[in-house]
Amino acid sequence: MSPAEYLGIFAGIFTTFSTVPQLLRIYKLKSAHEISFLFNTSLLMGVTIWLVYGIVLGLVPLIIWNAIGIILNGWLLFAKFRYGRAKSI
């Protein structure tokens, strides 16, 4: 494997799993009202387009990381709908 491929693997790990701490926080606090719906849907669309790009070019790392990214960002969007309302006092 070339240094560039290792670089791509590590970049994929960090960017793909960057949503995990946010997901853990949402489920711990049972609150997602501070999460931007527009940001999350834009990110989900972008990751989906990257996945299609990877499929078209047959780039396995792009396919793998963006498929995982879609799952994590979809989960974040689900959490936004589930816990997105501000808590009433």
Cα–Cα separations (whole angstroms), residue 83 to 17, 19, 49, 50, 70: 21, 16, 27, 28, 19
Report pLDDT for 61. 87
User: Domains along the chain?
Assistant: 3-83 (1.20.1280.290)
Asked if residues 73 and 19 have their Cβ atoms less than 8 Å apart, the reply is yes
State pLDDT tens for residues 29-78: 999 988 899 999 999 999 999 999 999 999 888 999 999 999 999 999 99
pTM of the model: 0.84
